Amino acid sequence: MSNATYRGRFAPSPTGLLHAGSLSTAVGSYLEARSRGGEWLLRMEDLDPPREVPGAADDILRTLEAFGFEWDGEVAYQSRRHGLYRAALEQLAASGQAYACCCTRKEIAAHARRGLDGYVYPGTCRRGCPDGREGRAWRLAVAEGEAAVNDRLQGEYRQDLARDIGDFVLLRADGFWAYQLAVVVDDAEQGVTDIVRGADLLVSTPRQLAVYDALGLPAPGYCHLPVLTNAAGEKLSKQTLAPAISTGDAARQLRAALELLGHVPPAGCESLDDLWSWAAANWSLSRVPAGPLQLPHS
């Protein structure tokens, strides 16, 4: 892989197949990387086996290929990178920035208040687990005060981690690595300079910046694209039963994704090759709405 000044990535989770929302994110991420003369990596975020759909990872790769995406280097799989996450956690524990937590979800719910993304952990185990109990999870001790994210599309986003989130999980009680740690370790190890993803993940960005800071790593730039919603205003996702995209009419769906991102190809631009060529020549983040966007009826 070359030492590109811009390196982006797309990181789907094989808990289901690609849908219109994930396609628009992939398109925006891909075109932003290519328009900047950079690389575009592909990583499979397969860290939660109980939620994964058998065969979904291979189907995602086949779908991306059928739509004409071309990624740089080999596909990375989080399930093969446990050693990197373990080393990062050991570093954080050795520096006193991560600690073991014995609290159950029921205990946390009984003593915590609601925050921006679930319950705000009250810091019960910050100074050690109570006598006779052992840690079940590992958490990052967060600092007081606001953190700011300067997002290229959404503008400045501010969040007080201690007040709004609390000390968050790095290693879950069930033994699986938490997204907030794994995504930072992966992006840093892969040399990702810019992250383009859905705006639903903006709320988790301050947590990731805290992990970067704790590990002494440089943080990437961020751009959060508008999320797509259904008629009920719910984000398109596997949880809201968003239908999978089909490779049978890839060109039509690519055009639809471009239009949702504020880029309307001219009439007569119908094939995948034509659409990608036009998009590469005309892509501009300034055209992309901040969202959210409702998916039009078929």
Task: Give the residue among 50, 47, 66, 70 at the shortest CA–CA distance from 58.
Answer: 66
The residues near 93 (Cβ < 8 Å, ≥ 6 apart) are 99, 138
Helix (H) or strand (E) holding 98: strand 98-101
Measured from the Cβ of residue 105, the count of other Cβ atoms closer than 10 Å reads: 10
- Active-site residue set: 238
Residue 5, burial from CB neighbour count under 10 angstroms (0-12, 13-18, 19+): exposed
Residue 42, burial from CB neighbour count under 10 angstroms (0-12, 13-18, 19+): buried
- The token pair at 177 is 């690595």
Q: For residues 277 and 214, is the Cβ–Cβ distance under 8 A?
A: no
Sign of CA dihedral 161, 292, 75, 19: positive
Sign of CA dihedral 11, 119, 49, 141: positive
Residue with tokens 């590990």: 215
The residues near 271 (Cβ < 8 Å, ≥ 6 apart) are 251
